[in-house]
Structures are given as C-alpha cells and as structure tokens.
Amino acid sequence: MAQYSAVLDGVFIALADPTRRAVLRRLGRGPTSVGDLARDAPMTLPSFMKHVRVLESNGLIRTAKSGRVRICELNQERFALVEDWLTEQRRIWTDRTDRLERFVTNPKEEQ
C-alpha cells in the first residue's frame, strides 16, 4: 500500500507540468523520437531531457535506443492508476449519497 502510494505520488508529480503533459499528448498519437518531441518544446535539449526522465522514471513512458535515435512510447497502463484512484473517490462519494438517502427514507435504520 505504501509502495502504491509512492508510485501514485510520482505519477501525479509527472503530470503536474505542461511540457510533460504535451509529451504524453503527442505520444498518444504514436511513438516518437526524443528529437522530434524536443523540437516542439520551448526550451534547451538538456532541460527537455529532464522532463523525459521524469516521465520515464515514473513509468508514464518507455524509451529505447533505435540506432542513433531514442524513441519514446506511451505506457498507457500507468494512466489506469490515476483512473482507479478517481473511481475510488467517486465510490466514496456515492456511498455517502446512498447513506444520506437511506437516512432520509428511513431515519430509524441509521440510529
């Protein structure tokens, strides 16, 4: 559980940056080289590479050398962590609404 929580911390941190979200968006359309991705980013290559490493170390993308080029690919499964967390929150809210409804319908049941 603590490990899952740490992974979730990292995923949310990785998502908390517009450059990194733009990379994820671009990779949603298919694998792309670091060079091509960097061309769209308004910063130096070393600065851009830091963002790539944050995404990779938190499992949102995978990268692999192909000859002299490094190709980045989305790891869609990682997004499920965030979706699962959101679904769990919604479940808690729904449970609360259900409890309130039961209380309104039959107050004695809850005492």
Q: How many CA atoms lie within 13 A of 85 on its CB side?
A: 12
Interface stretch with a copy of itself, choices 10-18, 34-42, 46-54, 62-70 (CB under 8 A): 10-18
Please tell me whether residue 104 binds a copy of itself under the rule CB under 8 A: no
CA dist list (Å): 96 to 91, 93, 99, 109: 9, 5, 5, 15
Interface stretch with a copy of itself, choices 26-34, 49-57, 61-69, 103-111 (CB under 8 A): 26-34
Q: Which is nearer to a copy of itself, 68 or 89 (CB)?
A: 89
**Which stretches within the chain are classed as H helix?**
2-15, 18-27, 34-39, 45-57, 77-105
Please tell me whether residue 43 binds a copy of itself under the rule CB under 8 A: no
Sorted by sequence, the CB contacts under 8 Å of residue 43 that are 6+ apart come out as 19
| Binding positions for a copy of itself, rule: CB under 8 A | 5, 8-10, 12-13, 15-18, 21, 24-25, 28-30, 74, 76, 79, 82-83, 85-86, 88-89, 92-93, 95-96
